[in-house]
Amino acid sequence: MINPTALTAKNHDHKDDSSYSFFADCQPASIQLKDVAWSPYRNKPLLKPITIEVHAGEFLAIVGPNGSGKTSLLRCLYRTNKPSSGTVLLDDKDIWSLSPRQCAQRIATVLQDTGGEFGLSVFEMVEIGLTPKSLVWGRSDQDFQIVESALTLVDAAHLAERSFGSLSGGERQRVMIARALAQRPDVLVLDEPTNHLDIRHQLDVLTLLSKLPCTIIVSLHDLALASAYADRVLVMQNGEMQACAPANDVFTQQRIKQVFDVDTIIDEHPITQRPRFSFYIND
């Protein structure tokens, strides 16, 4: 059984780290889904009813094959897809009762598609993350420090003056994560944030996320990364939740075969003591 208080305390242990000082006012939020379903079609639900609570301060990873409903679920969480039925609650308040600005003040997102470059520099792209909580025109010294700190945390400070459009896919991804960090959210939702990243930056980004004093919800293709970093793993298949539990309970040979159609040898990682996988096809 997950202890929500313990989860929150675990993440808040990192608040004394000066690198994270701009997160000092973060208030990790809980998110509840109550029978949430969604579809753009009247009689063909792409996301079938899901009921789950993401505890304040928890790191939840969502895994599943392509087309399993991961992105559709995330869009319901950050107020893009309005559920066809059911309710999404942010600290017991329906997120659709909030204005877009109110929602952006508490939930930040990092999407797979970084969008257009807009002719902005990297610094200016990250600076956009300040907007939801900005109360006055212009930027203070503290605002600039937040942007600089966010870029430093994702190892992108050296890119600050570069044009965003000139960056590689991996560099763009790190900058978009920095922009979300500058937003100082209570909940951070990321859709495949390790796409385009090399192995070192994948580990750096997920280590960073695990240290943030906010609630983290992230979709991942890599089961090993989900196993290594998440407090719980939610497994999706055909728009349905198959399981949601700690990695040791979720990742069995039978479930991986059922969901991903591959065979697996599972052992224990000698350092993390989490499940470690060797996949093979045995048709």
CB-count burial class (<10 Å; 0-12, 13-18, 19+) for 84 = middle
CB-CB contact of 120 with 156 (8 Å):
no
Q: Which helix (H) or strand (E) holds 60?
A: strand 59-63
Q: How far apart are CA 249 and CA 41, in angstroms?
A: 34
Q: How many structural domains comprise the chain?
A: 1
Paired sense of beta strands 107-110 and 93-94, if any = unpaired
> 152: left (phi > 0), else alpha (psi -120 to 50), else beta?
alpha
Q: How far apart are CA 121 and CA 117, in angstroms?
A: 9
pTM of the model: 0.90
CA 42, chain centre distance (Å): 29
Q: What is the pLDDT of residue 44?
A: 81
Q: How far apart are CA 89 and CA 112, in angstroms?
A: 24
Q: Which stretches in the chain have pLDDT values below 70?
A: 1-18, 114-118, 135-138
As a whole number, the mean pLDDT across the chain is 89
CB-CB contact of 227 with 251 (8 Å):
yes
Q: Is 87 helix (H, G, I), strand (E, B) or coil?
A: strand
Q: What is the pLDDT of residue 10?
A: 40
Q: Is 141 helix (H, G, I), strand (E, B) or coil?
A: helix
CA distances from 109 to 5, 142, 181, 192, 218 (A): 24, 22, 9, 11, 10
Q: Which domain holds residue 50?
A: 4-280
| Angle 50-55-58 from CA coordinates, rounded to 5° | 110
Q: Is 46 helix (H, G, I), strand (E, B) or coil?
A: coil
Handedness of CA 236, 237, 241, 244 (dihedral sign): negative
CA distances from 218 to 31, 101, 158 (A): 13, 22, 26
What CATH number is given to the structural domain containing 233? 3.40.50.300
